[in-house]
Amino acid sequence: LQIFLGALAFSFFAKGFSGSYMKSMSSQIERRFEISSSIVGIIDGSFEIGNLMVMVLVSYLGPRVHRPKVIAIGCLIMSLGAFLSVMPQFLMGRYNYEKITVTVDNSSMSVSACSPASTEGHPVTDATETPSTMKNFGCEKTTNSYLWLFVLMGNLLRGIGEAPVMPLGVSYIDDFSKEENSAFYIGLVRSSGMFGPTLGFLLGSFCASLWVDIGIVDIDAISINPKDTRWVGAWWLGLLICGAVNFIASLPFWFLPYSLPKEGENENLKISHLPVQGDHCKIDPPAQPHIYLSIADFFPALKKLFGNPIFLVYIFLTILQYNSLVGLITYETKFMEQQFNVSVARAIFLIGVILLPVTILGMFLGGFLIKKFKLHITEMAKFACITFIVAYLLNLLYFTCSCEVLQVAGLTVPYSGSKYLSSPKNSFMASCNADCSCKLDQWDPVCGDNGITYMTACFAGCKSSTGMGRNMVFHNCSCVEGQVHGLGNSSAVLGQCQRESCTKAFPYFLALQTACAFILALGGTPTYMIMFRSVSPDLKSFAVGIETLGGRVLGGLPAPIYFGALIDETCLKWGTKNCGGSGSCRVYDTKAFR
């Protein structure tokens, strides 16, 4: 039993580890495959779909199968899923982020982004010089933009593999441990599993700060830094680690028996179970009538549960909370990045180090308070109600964590001044860059001396440059000059402008987020207990199943998809793929997003 407990604790750790790692990589995957947020939501939801496909079957067949072996198979499937998700990295070739092509003046090392329309009115850029066949060849390779389906399938497999771990593991412990120890053991296993998500986020943070093609590409040649919206981290590296961890988790279960002697009893039980071990494959056919029998019990049980008003309210609450929490967790890193100008890697790191431990602390404290003050069901309901109301009122403070929208010339501010535009669509061109023949669909932002971001150095009207790689500085930028009235040196540096006031507001946002997470977690344990106390004992496990099902089908599945679609609505500038077509979002209207 001790070996089983250790193995189960490690498998709980492994599933939390890989699950949170996948969550943290959502924005990296979005950019690597150039897809919109709603598709990321669908990839995210595929895990739930896989989980639900198997969950009911597994919970039902529970004691009739060789539980440790089924858990082992589950862990293997999870590691397969992780390895399958990595495949696109090796099929896709390198990641080429959008950058403008510049004409090089042979006499010096200086390059000009603004090339006046020369022969035949063509802009003199590398794109027009390469023969069309070459350009199409680049396109053939990117028809594999559907490779994100690999990640979706891998995630689906992870969901299928995770399903048996919890119900079978918990029932196995419950069957073969002393009555008084069982709850303690289960608590132990679950709490050791809590370290998984924290480490998963830390790994995510580390991988997000490495360049995606690490080891193949010279890092110094990359002109963007991790704060850039085109930056893609080494999302595949962590998945390899997750796959390995899940594989290791499956190993001990292969060597555990079908059944154990009950703790504190003598060995004679083991002998009576031996025939079953050879026969457990042949037990399946006679189990069929039993399934029909339990289907006959199924509807009365369902009716009894839903006839219970407290349980109904609880289900409704669960669905609402699942919706808000899943939506929040999925897009939180993107929100922090867009709103407060922090790199995705840092946002993930902060969630792993601050938010998750605080949530775990809140859960434990909630359970401790129930035990300490021996709260009854009505007192627990009052306690939960107060915590949720406080959390809701705190949530209203999010509206004060405001942050100005990134000032992009022609997109959020006009070229001449700094008031908002009425029709941002056609105003990228201005008199200062009219003769530069810039390409409209590019995004390789530069930050002018005046604190305004330009979509590319070409739109800033830059004529020359110094430096290489990410240290390149553009000079003689006519659009920047026009706004500074020709006083200062009109130069621009690569990358979008930093928004100072936003970075200052970030610690307050974090503190608020932490407080909310703690208070919600505090009320979480009592509400869970309310469900247990209000349902008749024989329906407890069924009630947990229905609650999980409801929360996932109506919360965990749709939330990332519709949150993603809503976030896509606030996009101001979409990236473009190598072959045209819109990619992932580059700039959001931060006010609308918030």
Q: What is the pLDDT of residues 9-59, one digit of tens each?
A: 999 999 999 999 998 998 899 888 888 888 999 998 899 899 888 887 776
Q: pLDDT per residue over 143-198, tens digit each? A: 556 888 999 999 999 999 998 888 888 888 878 887 777 777 887 887 778 789 99
Q: Domain segments of the chain: what residues?
A: 1-97+144-263, 299-406+500-555, 407-498
When pLDDT is cut at 50, 70 and 90, the band that residue 449 belongs to is confident
Residue 505: alpha-carbon gap to chain centroid: 24
Enter the pTM of the model: 0.77
Q: pLDDT per residue over 427-444, tens digit each? A: 667 777 777 777 777 788
Q: pLDDT per residue over 567-581, tens digit each? A: 999 998 888 776 667
When pLDDT is cut at 50, 70 and 90, the band that residue 245 belongs to is very high
Residue 93 contacts by C-beta under 8 Å, 6 or more apart in sequence?
141
When pLDDT is cut at 50, 70 and 90, the band that residue 290 belongs to is very low
Task: Answer whether residue 565 shows pLDDT above 90.
Answer: yes
- Which pLDDT score is estimated for 152? 95
| DSSP-derived 3-state class of residue 256 | coil
**DSSP track, 20-52:** HHHHHTHHHHHHHTT--HHHHHHHHHHHHHHHH
When pLDDT is cut at 50, 70 and 90, the band that residue 487 belongs to is low
When pLDDT is cut at 50, 70 and 90, the band that residue 488 belongs to is low
- Which pLDDT score is estimated for 126? 37
| DSSP-derived 3-state class of residue 61 | helix
- Which of these CATH numbers, 3.30.70.990, 1.20.120.850, 3.40.50.1820, 1.20.1250.20, describes 1-97+144-263? 1.20.1250.20
> Across 45-59, 68-82, 202-216, which has the greatest mean pLDDT?
68-82
The 10 Å Cβ neighbour count of residue 570 is 17
- Which pLDDT score is estimated for 283? 34
Q: pLDDT per residue over 49-74, tens digit each? A: 998 888 877 767 766 788 899 999 99
Instruction: Measure Cα distances from 408 to 107, 166, 213, 229, 437 in Å.
Output: 33, 50, 30, 14, 19
Instruction: Measure Cα distances from 51 to 13, 253, 552, 563 in Å.
Output: 17, 20, 9, 21
- Which pLDDT score is estimated for 580? 66
User: Looking up tokens 């009425």, which residue turns up?
Assistant: 422
Average pLDDT (480-501) is 72
From its phi and psi, is residue 315 left (phi > 0), alpha (psi between -120 and 50) or beta? Answer: alpha
- Which pLDDT score is estimated for 261? 83
Average pLDDT (462-471) is 78
- Which pLDDT score is estimated for 293? 41
Please name which of 276, 209, 301, 227 lies closest in space to residue 540, comparing C-alpha atoms: 301
Torsion of CA 47, 48, 54, 55, to 10 degrees: 130
Task: Answer whether residue 506 shows pLDDT above 70.
Answer: yes
Q: Which structure tokens are listed for 216?
A: 């193949």
Please name which of 171, 247, 203, 206 lies closest in space to residue 10, comparing C-alpha atoms: 247
Task: Answer whether residue 366 shows pLDDT above 50.
Answer: yes
Torsion of CA 45, 48, 53, 54, to 10 degrees: 150
Average pLDDT (525-537) is 82
Is 55 within 8 Å of 219 (Cβ atoms)? no
| DSSP-derived 3-state class of residue 101 | coil
Please name which of 232, 183, 184, 182 lies closest in space to residue 209, comparing C-alpha atoms: 232
Task: Answer whether residue 555 shows pLDDT above 80.
Answer: yes
